[in-house]
Structure 1
Amino acid sequence: MGGYIPDEIIEEIRVRSDIVEVISERILLKKSGANYKGICPFHTEKTPSFSVSPSKQIFHCFGCNTGGNVYTFIMKIENIPFVDAVKYLAKRYGINIPQHEEKGINSNNRNTLFEVNELVADFFHKQLHDSPGGKVAMKYLKGRAINEKTISLFRIGYALPSGDGIQQFLNKKGIPHGIQNLAGLIKNRDSGGYVDRFRDRVIFPISDTEGRVVGFGGRVLNDEDSRPKYLNSPETPVYKKGDILYGLHITKDSIREKRDIFLVEGYFDLITTYQEGIKNIIATSGTALTENHVKVLRRYADTVTLVFDGDEAGKKASERGGIILSKGGMKVKVMPLLSEKDPDSFIKEVKSEGFLNIAKDSKPFMEYIIDRVVAESNIKTVSGKTDCIKRVLPFLSAINSSVEKSLYISLIAGRVGVYEKAVVNELNKELNTTSYKFSAINPEPGPMVKSGIDSRNRAEKILVQLMLLDDKNINKIKKYISADDFNDRDMAKVTSVLFTLSDGGDKITVAEVMDLLSEDKLKDTVSELAFEDIEYQDVDKNILDCIKYIKRSRIDVKDIIHRLKKAVLEGDRKEFKELQLKISKSREKEYNNESKNIPD
């Protein structure tokens, strides 16, 4: 099961890992009875439906039906394979994985790329201090008021102008060109061979939330340079631009503490603002916001304040970002900047105190949009009113809350001078492609309830749930029934794992069961069953009732199919009819026993 890592080490790491502690580092959890609750990081919601059980060491979301143990959570939240999740938790809890066991892991491309990127980040940083070009780059950074402490914290570096500096460095380390190219550090030269991707630029290492270097950004030293001002690494197996936010590995603790984020665009916007003491900040680094970015942000904060450039391009970026964030269920505000300012120059002028004072005047995103659109429209004319409403509709449609949407409909209707009903009608036209109407209510999904599950499958589910709630029930059930007797294949697979674990004679935990389930849907099912708040008054009676029902309703399908085929081939109509009657009676018997034999 563990691949490169022995099962006993995987078990030790899981037992040592506290799931509440691990999940609390990423989302805000609040005590709720014996469990903890929070906003699910895997789907958009406003009412917490994500539960964590410290006693069972599992989690389950009753909104999106995702569940599992601590390994499952790390795999899903970091989008990494099982082995990487094991390594992450081993490092987190100081558990050593023997080197010979890690050999297979280190040969994995992802981990090789992390290691190469780390080497190159150190190389760039060293060149900033040691090379002639680095001295010019250092002067440029000092001119932008970036101090040595900040340079060191963000590991800012310098790429040599030669075109083969990275290659020479990595060749000496025994890193082949194929890996260098896969990491996006070099590219094919038109005349043949390779050339360094980054040349004569200030370099900003880009890291994931765990601080692993995944890529790089580079800026020219002279604005008159004919090359693009900024250059980022291409996407690689470890660098997905739609998932990574610059600086988050440094600022996430401050963000989690304040539950509020200042979102800027550029590297210098973030670095300068952070240096001035504003720590709860991240940057898009020139990449458009994506739904995955929002999922990452929701792990740490509830509110995002957009601090983009005050020019037209910055306003457009605020519009796009605001829509994505609003659809993702986050509260969005926009901080006003003068048209000629960017956050980098703005913070230098007003310092942290002035920045925070102006931040207090940040407007909710929809108010910002309405103010801006109304100011830019001629609402004294019919066409101006119409155009104004049309420009606001895409932003209204991004709001999840019906109450909030209604309030902003009233606001824009009043500002423009039209009836609210007219705005609602236009909004419904806008939303028509999604077959959603504003007047409709979209309740958030709640816990799964019993519906459409036939009696036999429900009996099987009850048996599995009883085994998960108390492992002493496993042997009680195992005496009378086998996993092959289960009609529901998912319940059969879980039962097989439970029966196998019971042979060891040790205490069985739900988290341990999940380690042996390879399918995500099975882990989701197990976590759901384990979290259901059900108390069985007479467990032994429930067990026997369910077993009796399953056995009574069981038909030897293979035997009947074989006999039916034989009856058809031999033209035995009497046998054929008798078999049909047997099937019919069995179904009727199952139906009649549905209410009286299965405990609800």
Structure 2
Amino acid sequence: MDAVEDIKARLNIEDVVGEYVELRRAGRNYKGLSPFTAERTPSFMVSPEKAIWHDFSSGKGGNMFSFVMEMEGLDFKGALEHLARKAGVDLAQYRTGRSAETGKQKDRLYQALDLSVRFYQAQLRGNKSALEYLLKKRQFSKEIVLKFGLGYAPNTGRALVDFLQKKGFTPRELQQAGLSARSYRGGPRDMFRGRIMVPLMDAQGRALGFTARLLADEPDSPKYINTPQTMLYDKGRHVFGLHLAKEALRREGFAVLVEGNLDVIASHQAGIAQVVATAGTALTESHLKSINRFTGDIRLAFDQDKAGIAAAERAIPIAGKVGVTLGIITIPDGKDPDELVRKDPELWRKATQQHQYALDWLIEKYQHQLDLQTATGKRQFSDTLLRVVRQLPDQVEQDHFIDKIADVSGISREALQAKMTAIGSERRTLRRPKVDVTAASLPDVVKYQDHFMALVLLRPGLRDYMDLVSPEMLPQEAAQELFVHLVQHPDFGIETGAPVPAALSGLADYVKILGLQYDELYRDREDVDLINEVIYVRSELIKQHVKHQKARIASQLDDADDASALLAEVRELDNLLKNVSKE
């Protein structure tokens, strides 16, 4: 038995899903409201017999691992580790060689960091100055201090090192966890001393490191220091507060990204929990990808000084690459979120709602900063903004903002296009982007794909309607493999609920999901209804395929020396549509 099967044997899928979705028994299955859409009629299904789930409103489905991946924003490895902890499975026994050793090493570092959080919390309770700073100056409640695990590092030099060494941790392990540094005498000493400690947690709430704020003013010491890069902590990937913001991000549909960890804590205390931070480092693609697992609407609430404007300039192209919508929040009177929350939480709540699209905000900023009546002002205005616009991945958006820059500055569109071409002379910039043919309308395409495959799998008499469909029309690999299998084995038959044959063992979960869909949607339908349904979903599949292929061809026409082959492909696609419309 491998780790996946061991976990499946110990956990019931309805129990795993039930931690996130309120489920009610519906015959052999369970039903609940989709956690991915705002539906009012339950269409989210869990089948204990098949150990699968399917959400009819969003088209998503899979096993307990894919569900945790969706809900926690994890990759498969992260979901495996998450469920292994829940099931009490030791993954080390399934690892070999270097992988096993690395896994054990990480587990030790997690343990050391968890003990450190508790140690610093205990030290906080006995330090009057630290408590006054958090409870009176920062006005944090005791509940929020506990929720974020805030603590205090004593200024004695070796307090934490001595504590952890007594617990059996070696000096090397403490250094690897970023908890100690070498003193000038050569021995280990505490990395953090005389500081308020803010644990940096991963998306599952495990400590990775700390942000430490100086408690007493020391002119030669930095106010904030972070754990250095370690095996666990990577500042370019870590999003502070994500473990406590996940539910709010889904519920509210947007994320607010602030600069300071204490801004996050203050906002959560005010009941505005969709707020996270990058913990004092520049925004990266990894940061946006982590947040995008929960929402694609991300709003920056950074300082609006020169550094803040520069941060927005860097962030806009990254957001375009990741595929998220980036907005800017303007905070009244230029305050920090923490200051605004202390003044009036409702003002901060309203500010998070009144965002402006990032590039519109940037244009407006430079419009007020520069004199656009002068040649110098126009040159600086166009230089700065065209460098940002050039990096936008979407042609339509590029086109829109060139028009806007022309309108605001009084520079002709032709001059702006020429200048942008010169800026990006290493490659043509004003062109259609390369199209991901599976990206647009993917949820609808997946629904049509699964409904079509459920019908032709469970009703062999409908397989004649596979004639106009080809594997590349199906966006998911599992559907493509099953389609090819049915073409090669036209007499293949299977009943819903029956064991999945060995020939399809690699597609077992997908076949079970199709069986669940068939039972819910088609089990009691008349034959004529099923024929009409398979014709309809096939038609929609083909229409979506033609639409995406034409978009791909259009993007290639700019570069084509001879467009005849591409135009011939367009004619073939048109003929395919005609054949579909005849039926």
Separation (CA, whole Å) in 2 of partners of 1:289 and 1:109: 29
SS in 2 for 1:241: coil
Letter in structure 2 aligned against 1:122: R
Report if the CA contact (8 A) 2:120-2:152 is conserved.
Answer: yes
Matches within 5 A, 1:287-298: 287-298=281-292
TM-score, normalization by structure 1 = 0.64
Deviation of 1:274 (Å):
2.1
Deviation of 1:193 (Å):
1.4
SS in 1 for 2:239: coil
Deviation of 1:360 (Å):
4.4
SS in 2 for 1:202: strand
Matches within 5 A, 1:78-97: 82=77, 85-91=79-85, 95-97=87-89
Report if the CA contact (8 A) 1:310-1:342 is conserved.
Answer: no
2:244 is aligned with 1:250? yes
Separation (CA, whole Å) in 1 of partners of 2:79 and 2:295: 24
SS in 1 for 2:279: coil
Counterpart of 1:509? 508
TM-score, normalization by structure 2 = 0.66
Counterpart of 1:376? 369
Letter in structure 2 aligned against 1:255: L
1:151 aligned to which of 121, 145, 148: 145
Counterpart of 1:218? 212
Report if the CA contact (8 A) 1:378-1:385 is conserved.
Answer: yes
Letter in structure 2 aligned against 1:444: D
2:168 is aligned with 1:174? yes
Matches within 5 A, 1:428-577: 428-433=421-426, 435-446=427-438, 464=485, 498=502, 509-510=508-509
* Alpha-carbon spacing, 1:444–1:378, altered in 2? closer, same or farther (3 Å): same
After superposition, give the CA deviation of every residue in 1:516-548 in whole Å (9 maximum; x if it has no partner).
Answer: xxxxxxxxxxxxxxxxxx999xxxxxxxxxxxx
* Alpha-carbon spacing, 1:512–1:109, altered in 2? closer, same or farther (3 Å): farther
* Alpha-carbon spacing, 1:151–1:362, altered in 2? closer, same or farther (3 Å): same
Deviation of 1:28 (Å):
3.7
2:125 is aligned with 1:126? no
2:274 is aligned with 1:280? yes
2:108 aligned to which of 112, 119, 123: 112
Separation (CA, whole Å) in 2 of partners of 1:236 and 1:278: 31
Report if the CA contact (8 A) 1:217-1:233 is conserved.
Answer: yes
Separation (CA, whole Å) in 2 of partners of 1:99 and 1:422: 61
Letter in structure 1 aligned against 2:189: V
Report if the CA contact (8 A) 1:17-1:70 is conserved.
Answer: no
Counterpart of 2:396? 403
* Alpha-carbon spacing, 1:325–1:472, altered in 2? closer, same or farther (3 Å): same
After superposition, give the CA deviation of every residue in 1:232-279 in whole Å (9 maximum; x if it has no partner).
Answer: 111222212122111111111111101111111011211122222222
2:412 aligned to which of 404, 415, 419: 419
**What's the RMSD between the two structures over aligned residues?**
4.5
SS in 1 for 2:233: coil
Deviation of 1:441 (Å):
4.5
* Alpha-carbon spacing, 1:26–1:273, altered in 2? closer, same or farther (3 Å): farther
1:261 aligned to which of 251, 255, 266: 255
Report if the CA contact (8 A) 2:240-2:279 is conserved.
Answer: yes
* Alpha-carbon spacing, 1:234–1:463, altered in 2? closer, same or farther (3 Å): same
SS in 1 for 2:225: strand
Report if the CA contact (8 A) 1:413-1:423 is conserved.
Answer: yes
Counterpart of 1:353? 346
Separation (CA, whole Å) in 1 of partners of 2:490 and 2:9: 20
Report if the CA contact (8 A) 1:333-1:364 is conserved.
Answer: yes
* Alpha-carbon spacing, 1:336–1:164, altered in 2? closer, same or farther (3 Å): same
Separation (CA, whole Å) in 1 of partners of 2:34 and 2:310: 30
After superposition, give the CA deviation of every residue in 1:363-396 in whole Å (9 maximum; x if it has no partner).
Answer: 2111111111122222212232122111101221
Letter in structure 2 aligned against 1:378: D
Report if the CA contact (8 A) 1:309-1:339 is conserved.
Answer: no
Gaps spanning 5+ residues in structure 1: where?
37-53, 60-66, 452-458, 474-496, 503-507, 514-533, 537-600
2:302 aligned to which of 293, 305, 308: 308
Counterpart of 1:385? 378
Deviation of 1:318 (Å):
3.2
* Alpha-carbon spacing, 1:460–1:287, altered in 2? closer, same or farther (3 Å): closer
Counterpart of 2:547? none
* Alpha-carbon spacing, 1:441–1:227, altered in 2? closer, same or farther (3 Å): closer
* Alpha-carbon spacing, 1:30–1:231, altered in 2? closer, same or farther (3 Å): same
SS in 2 for 1:509: helix
Separation (CA, whole Å) in 2 of partners of 1:318 and 1:437: 21
Letter in structure 1 aligned against 2:222: P
Separation (CA, whole Å) in 1 of partners of 2:73 and 2:489: 28
1:200 aligned to which of 169, 194, 202: 194
* Alpha-carbon spacing, 1:113–1:79, altered in 2? closer, same or farther (3 Å): farther
Report if the CA contact (8 A) 1:216-1:233 is conserved.
Answer: yes
Report if the CA contact (8 A) 2:261-2:279 is conserved.
Answer: yes
Letter in structure 1 aligned against 2:148: F
Deviation of 1:316 (Å):
2.7
SS in 1 for 2:388: helix
Report if the CA contact (8 A) 2:73-2:290 is conserved.
Answer: no
Deviation of 1:221 (Å):
1.2
Q: RCO greater where, 1 or 2, for CA within 8 Å and sep 6 or more?
A: 1
SS in 1 for 2:237: coil
Report if the CA contact (8 A) 1:26-1:299 is conserved.
Answer: no
Letter in structure 1 aligned against 2:406: A
Deviation of 1:105 (Å):
9.4
Report if the CA contact (8 A) 2:194-2:216 is conserved.
Answer: no
SS in 1 for 2:210: strand
Separation (CA, whole Å) in 2 of partners of 1:360 and 1:461: 46
SS in 1 for 2:349: helix
Separation (CA, whole Å) in 1 of partners of 2:35 and 2:392: 23
Report if the CA contact (8 A) 1:105-1:111 is conserved.
Answer: no
